[in-house]
Structure 1
Amino acid sequence: MELQHWRHLQHPLVFNEDERSGDDCWGCLEPVFGPSYSCKECRGQCIHHKSCAELPLGLHHPSHPNHPLILFDPYTHNQKDREKFSKCDVCGEKSWEYSYCCYRCNFNIHIRCSSLSLTIQTEVHDHQLTRSIWKLMKFTCDFCGKDGNLPYCCAQCDFAIHSRCAACPRRLKVYRHNHPLHLTPSLEVHQSDSPICRLCVRKVDTLCLYYCSRCDFAAHLYCAILPHNREYINLEELKEEQSTESKSEDPELHQSFDTEICKVKKTTMGEDGTQIATEIKHFSHEHDLKLTDEIPNNTKCNGCIQSILSPFYSCTLCSFFLHKSCSKLPKIKRYTLHPHPLTLSYQQASFCCYACGQTCNGLIYKCQKSGVVYNVQCILLSDTLTHASHEHRLYLSNTNIRQQCSSCNFEEYFVCRCSTCEFVLDFKCATLPQTAWYNQHEHPFNLYYTPEDGSGEYYCEICEEERDPKQWFYYCAECSFPAHRDCILGKNPNVKQHI
């Protein structure tokens, strides 16, 4: 059975009775298990649940009776329309799923809200809930404490709840945490301040939250059920006592060689009696590499594309250098901000890192399922980090809305966020080297976060253009030599040119 779908006109979509990939549906953004449609010509792309693929192109809906609504995909429109029609007028939430919209009134309703039942049974309430009228009305949700437009109500208890809150399960699993999270009233989470959601790194200000009491891990209701955060597994088969720490938190991560990645050719005995690998064969290079501590000037590691630090391996036949830590990276790695396992590879040609958006080359971690690629620097960022530019600890955050970096003002989904204040760093700024060299300049440049003096006149000594005093810059204190960070690092600092 085939279907010609409006979202993918170049090929028909083919019906599959029992899809098991778990890939995200292009319509509702939820994982696909069961009956589905997808494009076989494009290797399973444009995958939809059967119900999402068969949605009508037009709809008359009681929540907006004056005009017909048209099926709409935010990704196919410009940024202005995308932002305007991503927010649902029924649930009040932003989402990139298909919507029905009215261009005359700027009315928008998510497809999941357009098909809500008049009566439902939910895990969060003992009685059946009823939507008595399809009419927008203001109310305060008794479950999360937030305002809404169209409630489900319980006649027996005078209880009103958002449709999205009603869909919350009592337990769920997120990729960012090893244990299941339980629906918990906020008052039962004993902390001095409001708990912090470890997914978006903002305070939880709702009446209920998802919580792991073993690890003091809290999450917003809506953050936990986002498709890129929620892990769809059988919780009955998950034994909490057998949960182990993920590889990303493994203290032994860089302590031994992965024989599939790196083979030890020669060793020597260290002063403490441990074996030291003095010669290796790494999969990223055709020649053997030898351990050395003689650091060449202005040389970068071919793995992470950062300045070479001792100890490292080098090739005696060509200019190939590899940090000892980079040689010990595991072949398979779980990343806290990505749902699938990532595989280590090496790419001499440039690529775009999914986390920081920069052009890079060298060692990469790639998702074999989605094709998403990350550079090593972004992957190695800790879940929690201390950065010299800020007084508080920062946490990795990934939301469905862009967050503005406090350093460069760019807006990104992947950021390092402060839980105490509104300070945010995108991955590009968080991974900037603290020390850098420039051409034949005899001294190193250090990264500065505030103006070097109070003169009020700030210029770059390289391009001779004016500097924004609010922007970070590199500075040689020995020579009183300030410069734009792009002038010091170059346009593509994470790309190493091969000789």
Structure 2
Amino acid sequence: MDSKGVVSLPLIHNHQMMPWNDLRKGDCCGHFEAISDGYYCKRCDFFVHKTCGDGVSEYIEHPSHPNHTLELCSNLRFHCDLCGRRTNYLSYYCEICGFIVDLHCAMYPPPEFIENSERHHHKLTLLKERIAAFDCDAKCGKISGNEFAYKCQECDLTFHVDCVWHPSEVYHPLEVNHSYHPSHPLKLHTGQRPDYSDGACRLCARKIDDRYFYHCSSCNFTLDMRCVLHPPQQSLLNLKAHDHQLTLLPRLDSFTCNACGLKGDRSPYVCFQCGFMIHQDCLSLPRLININRHDHRVSRTSVLGVVNSVCEVCHRKVDWTCGGFSCQRCSGYVVHSKCATNKDVWNGKELEGVPEETEDIKPFVVIDNNTIQHFSHKKHYLRLHVNGVLCDDKKRCRACTHPICLQSFYGCMDCDFILHQNCAGFPRKRWHVLHNERLTLVSYEYDFFQCQACNRFSNGFSYQYSGITFDVGCGSISEPFVHPSHPDHPLYYTLLDEETKSSCNGCNKSSYSVLRCIEDDCRFAICFKCATFPQVVKHRVDDHPLSLCFDKEASGKYWCDICEKETNPETWFYTCKDYRASLHIKCVLGDFSWLMPGSTIDLSELSKVVLNNSISRPFCSGCKMHCIFPIILKIVGTSDKYFCSIECAFG
């Protein structure tokens, strides 16, 4: 629960934070606290305990390292010299001798002596020097090395610090009686969980933190700190989730959640009156939201009711008897609850009670059947030319920056402003799979940008939101996406992880973000860069237009007529009308084909974007070779300094 006002904690975090109540593990020290007060940054999802935020200092004197002052550091991924655990976000460090303690050990230093340890009946003494390796007599099974330890001088036994000293015991008892487990008391555990445990909290299903948790060995019942300190309500009435009173059932039982249609394995809230069951985290599902896959709002419904329907985000079948999200305007448009509220799909804004935006997003005003006034060029009217000219490099669309090539276009009646007919129709605002906020179309500017989907430089139109920028090629892609390289099945956007990332069928490079075929027996995928290559281009190497070729069955050796080097038929290439040439895509397009010739940009130096169409090709100042690419950069104020590629420009 947040409150008014913001707090600056410059030693801990770069952004302003707000007072916040939460029982999660702190990003400051990596531990749980009994109190919920703290500070939170919404931009980074970063939570700091109040005790850490208020108590941290830039420099400290620490009893475990009396000879030198320790300095506060962040993101030092080492091991604490006191407890042996990997340091969390914040720690204290000695530049002179490399000594490091995590924030928790800095705030709660282990005492010099322990008189009444749960592990041992004699007095334990903290050793003054680190020891290289030892077998912990607590039989914890952890590998030790070069750390401090407690020793019993009478028995000659040695223990890890965190096996016998628990700062949490200051505010967490060693044993608790809990309302959800009245049969036996729960004991505080530190270190590795029992082998027979599934490692998750019985109530909330979160993975337990091995440092501190409560456990009953007789019943194999485990609770994390959050659920011990503040357990979920035993019964509640949440009319947004269900019409009747719900009761928590703290059992390990498989069930299907009626709100999202997904399986659960423990502790649902149930309605004994009608058999309704729901995950705890589904209680807070929003009622009305925007998702980045659809132009209209979608609303939560208790029963989807569309038989044989498919989720429009993951494209898997939905259980029509369960709840989900649907569009009231588009019949049959349904989304799983979990898919709709995924952080890559939803911006986190509940829209119930918020009026829907009604602004006009049309990009132009129709003057007559052949004439429009476009928002990017209000001073003149644009007239439609149905038959495009044959790939004239000098006639380029101001939106996508590509030449007018056998395509219908709108041309200004008073100046040289041109837009492809298709580009002229891009809406001024749109939702897009690559971002979960609504993007705005920004018209042509001479300043350039780098598209965050394909990484190309451009100074055409772009779709933007708060520093996120996509060129109109990537920004106009929508689902289902049909590409001529894979005409039989449509493609859908998929964000992959390290284990599932795919190789693009166009360039053979691995990518986390692809447009992929979802058919079970098809692994076709293309990255956004390959998906937006022009299908037809004109190049000086041939009198005819060149076509993008997807022929993966080609065999033998092929040579590029531009660079005179071998090509790989396993990747896409450009070919001429009679298919006698295979030209590298990089050689045909270069790095600057998405920049408007005649414009000036400040890349590594102030440069003019020029066509490489003279009889004698200039020398590149970077690679010292003749420039082979169709568009190059000429350094302003010089007569013979050129760059042919990004690599050459940045050296």
Residue type matched to 2:284 in 1? A
Aligned partner of 1:485 in structure 2 is 585
Alpha-carbon distance, 1:229 to partner: 3.2
- Once the two structures are superposed, the pairs formed by residues 282-361 of structure 1 within 5 Å of their partners are 293=389, 296-297=392-393, 300-309=396-405, 311=409, 313=411, 322-325=418-421, 328=424, 332-337=428-433, 338=435, 339-361=437-459
The alignment status of 1:256 with 2:354, answered yes or no, reads no
Partner of 1:151: 267
Tell me whether 1:472 sits opposite 2:572 in the alignment: yes
Q: 1:101 to 1:442 in 2, by over 3 A?
A: farther
Q: Any idea what SS the aligned residue of 2:443 has?
A: strand
Is 1:199–2:313 an aligned residue pair? yes
| Structure 1 segment 191-230 matched on structure 2, within 5 A | 191=308, 195-204=309-318, 207-212=322-327, 214-230=330-346
Separation in structure 1 between the aligned mates of residue 453 and residue 203 of structure 2, nearest angstrom? 32
Per-residue CA distance 1:113-167 (angstroms, 9 max, x = gap): 997734454444445445565x9x5633343454445432437367654333333
How far 1:203 moved relative to its partner? Answer: 4.0
Contact 1:458 1:469 in 2 (8 A): yes
Using the alignment, how far apart are the partners of 1:114 and 1:406 within structure 2? 52
Q: Specify the SS of the correspondent of 1:346.
A: coil
From 361, 381, 387, give the equivalent of 2:477: 381
Please give the per-residue CA displacement for 1:398-440, whole angstroms capped at 9, x wherever unaligned: 6586863444443244636556755433322221111123343
Question: What is the CA–CA distance in structure 2 between the aligned matches of 1:103 and 1:444, rounded to whole Å?
Answer: 66
TM-score, length-normalised on structure 2? Answer: 0.50
Q: Secondary structure at the match of 1:229?
A: coil
Residue 541 of structure 2 contacts residue 561 of structure 2 at CA under 8 Å; is this kept in 1? no
Query: Secondary structure of 1:335's match?
Result: strand
Q: 2:547 aligns with which of 413, 424, 446?
A: 446
In the aligned structure 2, how far is the partner of 1:149 from the partner of 1:465? 59
Q: Aligned letter for 2:442?
A: L
Tell me: CA distance 1:104–1:235, structure 2 relative to 1, closer, same or farther (3 Å): closer
SS at match of 2:448: strand
Percent identity at matched positions? Answer: 22
> 2: distance between equivalents of 1:64 and 1:185?
43
Q: CA separation in 2, counterparts of 1:171 and 1:430?
A: 33
Q: Say if 1:174 and 1:307 are closer, same or farther in 2 by CA, change over 3 A.
A: same
> How far off is 1:481 after superposition?
0.7
Q: CA deviation at 1:475?
A: 1.8
- 1:301/1:322 contact within 8 Å kept: yes
**5 Å matches for 1:88-103?**
none
CA-to-aligned-CA distance 1:185-204 (integer Å, 9 cap, x gap): 46x3133xxx3322344443
- In the alignment, the residues of structure 2 paired with residue 224 and residue 335 of structure 1 have an alpha-carbon distance, to the nearest angstrom, of 14
Which stretch shows the higher mean deviation, 215-224 or 295-304?
295-304
| Range with greater deviation from structure 2 (147-156 or 473-482) | 147-156
Q: Output one character per residue of 1:3-28: Cα deviation in whole Å (capped at 9) or x when no partner.
A: 454895356x26599xxxxxxxx99x
Q: Deviations over 1:476-495 (max 9, x none)?
A: 24261113322322245423
Q: Measure the CA separation in 1 of the matches of 2:267 and 2:10.
A: 32
- Contact 2:289 2:297 (C-alpha < 8 Å) held by counterparts: no
Provide the C-alpha distance between the structure 2 equivalents of 1:379 and 1:178, rounded to a whole number of angstroms: 18
Does structure 2 conserve the Cα–Cα contact (< 8 Å) formed by 1:417 and 1:423? yes
Cα offset, 1:224, TM superposition? 0.9
Q: Is the 8 A contact 1:352 1:358 kept in 2?
A: yes
User: Quick one: distance in 2 between partners of 1:487 and 1:15?
Assistant: 52
5+ residue gaps, structure 2: 21-26, 29-36, 53-103, 105-166, 173-177, 179-185, 193-199, 214-223, 598-608, 611-651
Distance 1:173 1:437 in 2: 42
Give how far 1:462 is off: 4.5
Q: Deviations over 1:308-338 (max 9, x none)?
A: 2354648999xx7632548846794223444
8 Å CA contact 1:335–1:342 kept in 2: the answer is no
CA–CA distance in 1 between the matches of 2:561 and 2:51? 61
Superposed, which structure 2 residues align to 1:126-165 within 5 Å? 126-131=243-248, 137=252, 139-143=254-258, 144=260, 146-154=262-270, 156=272, 160-165=277-282
Q: Is the 8 A contact 1:334 1:340 kept in 2?
A: yes
For the Cα contact (< 8 Å) 2:395–2:418, is it kept in 1?
no
Letter in 1 for 2:283: A
Offset of residue 217 of structure 1: 0.6
Look up the match of 2:13: 9
Point out the more displaced range, 2-11 or 403-412: 2-11
Residue in structure 2 matched with residue 425 of structure 1 by the alignment: 526
Quick one: which amino acid aligns to residue 474 of structure 2? C
Query: Structure 1: which 5+ residue stretches go unaligned?
Result: 18-25, 28-34, 39-44, 70-86, 94-98, 268-275, 279-290
CA pair 100-330 structure 1, distance change in 2 beyond 3 A: farther
Question: Does structure 1 conserve the Cα–Cα contact (< 8 Å) formed by 2:366 and 2:373?
Answer: no
Structure 1 458/209 Cα, relative in aligned 2: closer, same or farther at 3 Å? Answer: farther
| RMSD value, Cα | 5.4
- Which structure 1 residue ranges, 4+ long, deviate > 6 Å from structure 2? 35-38, 55-65, 87-93, 111-116, 243-246, 248-255, 314-317
Structure 2 partner of 1:189: 306
The one of 499, 520, 535 equivalent to 1:434 is: 535
Q: Quote the offset at 1:225 in angstroms.
A: 1.3
Secondary structure at the aligned position of 2:404 is classed as coil
Given residue 380 of structure 1, which amino acid in structure 2 is its aligned partner? S
Q: Note if contact 1:258-1:330 (Cα within 8 Å) is conserved in structure 2.
A: no
Q: How has the CA–CA distance of structure 1 residues 155 and 212 changed in structure 2, closer, same or farther, with 3 Å as cutoff?
A: closer
Alignment match, 1:284: none
On the 8 A contact 1:473/1:483 being kept in 2, the answer is yes
Question: Equivalent residue for 1:494?
Answer: 594
| Greater relative contact order, per chain length (Cα 8 Å cut-off, separation 6+) | 1
Q: 1:306 to 1:294 in 2, by over 3 A?
A: closer
Q: Which has the larger radius of gyration?
A: 2
Give TM-score scaled by structure 1 length.
0.63
- Is the contact made by 1:92 and 1:148 (CA closer than 8 Å) also made in structure 2? no
Equivalent residue for 1:41? none
Q: Structure 1 residues 442-451 or 206-215, which shifts more? A: 206-215
Q: 1:201 to 1:422 in 2, by over 3 A?
A: farther
